């Protein structure tokens, strides 16, 4: 079904502007073709990763557009005749009103994912290095299932360890995923427990070493005394 207009959010722009110009063009083409004609064009790499996050928001807005048309279709024949000359305008107005009413009260998850991915990309570029298509695809996959703050925390740990690679970040995230860690609070709790266990292990090793040295000194205490 073709449409005459669609809503383009600032979060889309913020995410797209960070990628190379040719990739930007690919995403813009994919968005407009899908939003206006409901057709998907074939894209790959960074373009596909960005569009995959944006697509659910486009679907949600398209559904609101259809709902607006259904509401209009349920009007009486008299009202239809009176508003016939403004039908196209009313559809667009209804669509925008529906979106504005729900935008703040019930923010779409995919839109927040786009915002989160933008923050992830910025942190990566500023602290790890220029993000590659491979790196973006990996992080965008994690962003679909994990909080962006948790992903940024993993990157902070990579910086602290001075191992600034996507493989190291991926290893941290996979480890957290296996342990069921879903929030920054969970990760900090796990770190605290790890440090406590490490201190206990060190203390035990020191005690064992002291005990061994004491035994060793006793063993040779009387050597040469006889």
Q: How far is CA 172 from the centre of its chain?
A: 16
- Measure CA 186 to chain center: 18
Statement: residue 129 has pLDDT above 70: yes
Segments making up each domain of the chain, as ranges: 10-108, 111-178
Contact 72, 94 (CB under 8 A): yes
Per DSSP, the residues of 2-56 read --S-----HHHHHHHTTS-HHHHHHHHHHHHHHHHH--PPP--HHHHHHHHHHHH
Comparing 49-58, 150-159, 171-180, the range with the smallest average pLDDT is 49-58
- Please say if the pLDDT value at position 89 is more than 90: no
Q: Which CATH class is domain 111-178?
A: mainly alpha
| DSSP label at residue 132 | P
Does the predicted model carry a pTM greater than 0.95?
no
Contact 12, 31 (CB under 8 A): yes
Residue from 2, 3, 46 nearest 27 by CA: 46
Q: Over the Cα atoms of the chain, what is R_g?
A: 29
């Amino acid at each position: 079904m073709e449409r005459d207009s669609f809503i383009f959010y600032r979060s889309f722009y913020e995410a797209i502007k960070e990628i190379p110009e040719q990739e930007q063009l690919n995403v813009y083409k994919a968005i407009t073709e899908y939003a206006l004609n409901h057709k998907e064009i074939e894209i790959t790499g960074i373009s596909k990763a960005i569009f995959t996050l944006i697509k659910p928001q486009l679907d949600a807005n398209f559904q609101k557009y259809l709902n607006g048309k259904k509401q209009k279709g349920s009007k009486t024949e008299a009202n239809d005749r009176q508003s016939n000359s403004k039908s196209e305008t009313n559809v667009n107005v209804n669509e925008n009103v529906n979106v504005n009413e729900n935008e703040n009260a019930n923010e779409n998850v995919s839109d927040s994912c786009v915002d989160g991915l933008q923050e992830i990309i910025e942190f990566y570029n500023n602290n790890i290095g220029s993000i590659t298509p491979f790196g973006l695809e990996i992080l965008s996959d994690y962003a679909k299932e994990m909080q962006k703050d948790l992903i940024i925390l993993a990157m902070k740990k990579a910086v602290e360890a001075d191992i600034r690679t996507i493989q190291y970040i991926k290893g941290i995230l996979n480890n957290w995923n296996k342990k069921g860690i879903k929030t920054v609070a969970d990760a900090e709790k796990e770190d605290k427990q790890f440090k406590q266990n490490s201190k206990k292990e060190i203390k035990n090793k020191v005690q064992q070493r002291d005990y061994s040295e004491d035994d060793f000194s006793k063993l040779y205490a009387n050597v040469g005394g006889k």
